[in-house]
A and B are shown apart, each in its own frame.
Chain A
Amino acid sequence: MIKKYLPPLPQVIIIVFIIILLGLAIKIDIPASSLINDLFIRLILNCVLVISLIPMVNSGAGLNFGLPIGAVAGLLGMVITAQFGGKGLTGFLLSIAVSIPFAAASGTVYGHMLNRVKGREEIAATFTGFSIVSIMCLFWVVAPFTHPQMIWVLGGSGLRNTIGLRGFWEKSLYNLMQFKAGDIIIPAGSLLFIGIIIISLYFFSRTRTGMMMNAAGENESFARINGVNIEKIRKLSVIMSTVLASAGTCIYAQQYGFIELYSAPLMAAFPAISALLLGGSSGKRVFLRHAILGVILYQSLYLLSLPVANILLVPEMAEIIRMIVTSFIILYALAKKSEERGDV
């Protein structure tokens, strides 16, 4: 019975690895409080992006390597909001609200496209993401934005590579309802915000539509025989994933303090997907707990290995071990996924 509640072996390995790193970190006098504070920040940065993958995986549309599409919609929402002078928490919330229609529209087209490349969604999505980012590079140059903090100082037109959010809504969510417990900063507002997203997704999985979506991903022919319109439900999942990715991007920028345009979103999908797979998802059906465990593990690894590496005799070592461990876990997850599909 106990076995049921233990995470599977690969996750246990990572947890052990993290504990070793943690021991080392404490031994070399890195204060635990600062580690925890950093972990909170990293979770806020990445959590929603990882969660945004869930609807598509569960509907059978695969891991969303096209996450940059949602990210670009988020960027668009933010620059538009900034252009019209959005500020503070209102500005942040507005930026999400403005990006949702863009995300929904592009998600519809993207979902339609993924339905036509059934079986090769992931590679098709990767290249769709790349193309959208490149197309948007042109847009950022020619778009008629005029806010002086956003356009190039010289030349006077075209958006900057990096737009600082100081003076707009930098850390507005992070600062919301924030309190201190000793040395530990608890970003209660951010946690609440992300919590609401997680809880709504949980309730979605308990609706009729959510159940049909999970069925489509688990057994397509069953779903079709039992009255699920596969194309429609898959498209809906793609829209949901894209909208969540755009919101995730807004949260990321808010926390990070910068809007990064041009080629910045190019690789946005990879850390999110790594985290999800690290959490124990086989890439076929994901539960929220996979995503949450995954993002915590992935970010802890990231967070702990760097300071430890700096103190250790071989500064590169921890980073290398981190890469080896995470990459192997991801490969393991992907191999397991093919096995379940019966490809192997």
Chain B
Amino acid sequence: MENILEISDLSKKFRSNYALKNISLSLGRGEILGLVGANGSGKTTLMNILAGNPVIADTGGFTGEIKLGGRIISPAAPSDSLKLGIGMVYQEFALIPSFTAPENIMLGKENLISPVASLPGLRIPLIDHKKNIHKAESILSSLGVNGINIHVPVTEFNVSTRQFVEFARVINSDTLKLLILDEPTAVLGRDESIRLMDEVRKMADKGISVIFISHRLEEILSLCHRIAVLRDGILESVFTASETSAEDIARCMLGSIHARAIKTHNHTSSGDSGNYFRIKNMNSGSGGESLRNFSLNVSKGEIIGITGQSGQGQMLLGKSLMGLIPSDGEISIDGEKIQPGDTASLFRSGFYYIPEERRRDGLLPEHSIADNITFTKISTKRAFTSRTGLLNFKSINETVLKYTDELDIKCAGIKQKVCELSGGNQQKVILARALLLKPEIMMIFEPTRGIDIGAKEMILNMLLEMNREMQTTIIIVSSELEELLRVCDRIAVLYEGSIFSVLTPELPEEKFIHAFAGRAI
């Protein structure tokens, strides 16, 4: 089979961390390749490189070689990729909301009324709307989308129709060689998913190669010829669909989870059967992910892990609680009912949230280490504050010095700007803030992401120590199942926006694998 796409030795670094390392992968004409991997495994980075997302060039580009149809390519902008024949269907739709479906589908490829309005040297052709609408309608109906009002903006459509409009927009191209679909079925129902997959097969039969990203392993298995598994930026394995099973793929995605023997921690839960912290029927959505009727019960003093494949809604949890994105649902802490987004009450009940995006949401980058460590204690508990409101910098400095010593935060001094520290030290600063605050319950996202191994262990130990010494209830949302198995009392696996099952670390591997794949046993 002739290879359309050949990737060899592709690596991409963000600062000092590899997002992709030595990826070599090829794709034949008309082949459908499934791409799976947990959160942070490098799927998005790989797609961004192929789709020419400027974020790649802005962060220093990539190394290695990509050949499309035998030619070396290096797309620096989405328009480059389009010209080369790479079309991408984004998980968050790339549609212009106020345009109609035909306008979106034909954007940049409009039928024109030729030379009427063209002056020599000044081409301003008019758009032939009738022809455009006709063309768009024929594409849509070939996708089985009939009977929609094509004169209204696409925002009026439901998400599944919009997904088909997006799909129509991308396949409306004569030069399309490679089609990339990022979680196209996430917003679709069962029947619509089947319809979309039929269309993908048809495209492949026409000789277009497809990269299909999905967390639904069943779909991947039934649609794709081969399946590539990414883990921690490394191409772990490439399976042939007919010779593998969902379990094999899930096992490969999760990596070896035999490290559980190291579990150092014993249960300190008070056994209040999950009455301490409760979330009931939370719904929210953002960026193509959603939480659907999410409910969680946590006991006091427990460490609970929340995990799942990427995009199952786990990343929305903290933002929904803190009101950074709108949500509905009920929270209660120790019997007190709290509305999502009521940060004042959350703080009063001793709740603290450590976000995933350390640099963006977790730090004041231009402030000093001292400011970053003491901020929350000052803002929520009026610590170090005299009656006049002036801060007591002497006692602040003493406290901060104690923590930088204890946690071994490597810095030039406590007045150093926190943006100058390494990722691991920044995470330590955040944890020092939490230690100082002494929350009753803490929700921490991806505590070890982008941190070197030594610091990882230290951070996990700190979490265990906080739980042991201060009886802090800890919710860890992480894609590192191996780490969760070592520190958690229970692990909740999310699938499509709600908890699929809650497991304990002693359970056999198969249980986790099934839960990740969203399969009941």
Instruction: Report the separation of the CA atoms of residues A224 and B391 in the bound assembly, to the nearest whole angstrom.
Output: 21
Is the CB of B367 closer than 8 A to any CB of chain A? Answer: yes
Contact of A211 among B360, B375, B380 (CB under 8 A): B375
Contact at A227–B379, with CB atoms within 8 Å? yes
Instruction: Report the separation of the CA atoms of residues A214 and B365 in the bound assembly, to the nearest whole angstrom.
Output: 12
| Interface 1/0 per residue, B376-403 and A, CB below 8 Å | 1011101001001111010000000000
Instruction: Report the separation of the CA atoms of residues A203 and B378 in the bound assembly, to the nearest whole angstrom.
Output: 16
Closest B residue, CB atoms, query A284: B366
Is the CB of B73 closer than 8 A to any CB of chain A? Answer: no
With A207-B390, A208-B389, A211-B371 as known contacts, state yes or no: A226 contacts B379, CB within 8 Å: yes
Is the CB of B362 closer than 8 A to any CB of chain A? Answer: yes
Contact at A219–B365, with CB atoms within 8 Å? yes
| Interface 1/0 per residue, B310-346 and A, CB below 8 Å | 0000000000001110000000000000000001100
On chain B, the residues within 8 Å of A226 by CB distance are: 375-376, 379-380
Is the CB of A90 closer than 8 A to any CB of chain B? Answer: no
Contact at B389–A225, with CB atoms within 8 Å? no
Contact at A227–B347, with CB atoms within 8 Å? yes
Interface centre among A211, A218, A224 (most CB of B within 10 A): A211
Instruction: Report the separation of the CA atoms of residues A5 and B324 in the bound assembly, to the nearest whole angstrom.
Output: 39
Contact of B363 among A209, A219, A228 (CB under 8 A): A219
With A206-B391, A227-B347 as known contacts, state yes or no: A215 contacts B385, CB within 8 Å: no
Is the CB of B107 closer than 8 A to any CB of chain A? Answer: no
Question: B interface, by DSSP: helix, strand, loop or mixed?
Answer: mixed
Smallest beta-carbon distance B347→chain A, Å: 5
Closest A residue, CB atoms, query B385: A208
Instruction: Report the separation of the CA atoms of residues A221 and B365 in the bound assembly, to the nearest whole angstrom.
Output: 12
Contact at A225–B322, with CB atoms within 8 Å? yes
Contact at A222–B390, with CB atoms within 8 Å? no
Smallest beta-carbon distance A57→chain B, Å: 13
Instruction: Report the separation of the CA atoms of residues A224 and B343 in the bound assembly, to the nearest whole angstrom.
Output: 8
Contact at B361–A225, with CB atoms within 8 Å? yes
Contact at B366–A218, with CB atoms within 8 Å? yes
Instruction: Report the separation of the CA atoms of residues A228 and B361 in the bound assembly, to the nearest whole angstrom.
Output: 13
With A221-B360, A226-B380 as known contacts, state yes or no: A208 contacts B366, CB within 8 Å: no
Contact of B391 among A207, A219, A228 (CB under 8 A): A207
Closest A residue, CB atoms, query B380: A227
Instruction: Report the separation of the CA atoms of residues A219 and B375 in the bound assembly, to the nearest whole angstrom.
Output: 13
Contact at B365–A208, with CB atoms within 8 Å? no
Contact of B378 among A211, A219, A225, A229 (CB under 8 A): A211
Instruction: Report the separation of the CA atoms of residues A218 and B363 in the bound assembly, to the nearest whole angstrom.
Output: 10
Closest B residue, CB atoms, query A214: B367
Closest A residue, CB atoms, query B371: A211
Instruction: Report the separation of the CA atoms of residues A212 and B378 in the bound assembly, to the nearest whole angstrom.
Output: 9
With A208-B379, A211-B378, A227-B376 as known contacts, state yes or no: A222 contacts B362, CB within 8 Å: yes
Closest B residue, CB atoms, query A215: B364
| Interface 1/0 per residue, A209-245 and B, CB below 8 Å | 1011011001101101111110000000000000000
Is the CB of B353 closer than 8 A to any CB of chain A? Answer: yes
Question: A interface, by DSSP: helix, strand, loop or mixed?
Answer: helix
Contact of B355 among A211, A225, A229 (CB under 8 A): A225
Contact at B367–A215, with CB atoms within 8 Å? yes
Contact of A285 among B366, B375, B391 (CB under 8 A): B366
Total number of B residues with any Cβ neighbor in A under 8 Å? 29
Closest A residue, CB atoms, query B382: A208
Smallest beta-carbon distance B429→chain A, Å: 12
Smallest beta-carbon distance A313→chain B, Å: 45
Closest A residue, CB atoms, query B318: A225
Within 8 A of A (CB), among B191-239: none
Contact at A219–B364, with CB atoms within 8 Å? yes
Within 8 A of A (CB), among B60-102: none
Within 8 A of A (CB), among B149-184: none
Instruction: Report the separation of the CA atoms of residues A229 and B380 in the bound assembly, to the nearest whole angstrom.
Output: 10
With A215-B364, A222-B364, A285-B366 as known contacts, state yes or no: A229 contacts B391, CB within 8 Å: no
Smallest beta-carbon distance A23→chain B, Å: 37
On chain B, the residues within 8 Å of A227 by CB distance are: 343-344, 347, 376, 379-380
Contact at B365–A224, with CB atoms within 8 Å? no
Smallest beta-carbon distance A55→chain B, Å: 15
Smallest beta-carbon distance B413→chain A, Å: 13
Interface centre among B323, B363, B364 (most CB of A within 10 A): B364
Contact of A208 among B344, B360, B362, B378 (CB under 8 A): B378
Instruction: Report the separation of the CA atoms of residues A215 and B418 in the bound assembly, to the nearest whole angstrom.
Output: 13
Smallest beta-carbon distance A227→chain B, Å: 4
Contact of B389 among A207, A219, A222, A228 (CB under 8 A): A207
On chain B, the residues within 8 Å of A211 by CB distance are: 371, 375, 378-379, 391
On chain A, the residues within 8 Å of B343 by CB distance are: 224-225, 227
Chain B residues with CB under 8 Å of chain A are 322-324, 343-344, 347, 353, 355, 360-367, 371, 375-376, 378-380, 382, 385, 388-391, 393
Can you pick out 19 interface pairs between chain A and chain B where the beta carbons lie within 8 Å of each other? A206-B391, A207-B390, A208-B378, A208-B391, A211-B378, A215-B367, A215-B375, A219-B364, A221-B361, A222-B362, A222-B364, A224-B322, A224-B324, A224-B343, A226-B375, A226-B380, A227-B347, A227-B376, A227-B380
Q: A215-B375, A215-B379, A228-B379 are in contact. List 20 more A-B contacts (CB 8 A).
A: A206-B393, A207-B389, A207-B390, A207-B391, A208-B382, A208-B391, A214-B367, A218-B366, A219-B363, A219-B364, A221-B360, A222-B362, A222-B364, A225-B343, A225-B355, A225-B361, A226-B379, A227-B347, A227-B379, A285-B366
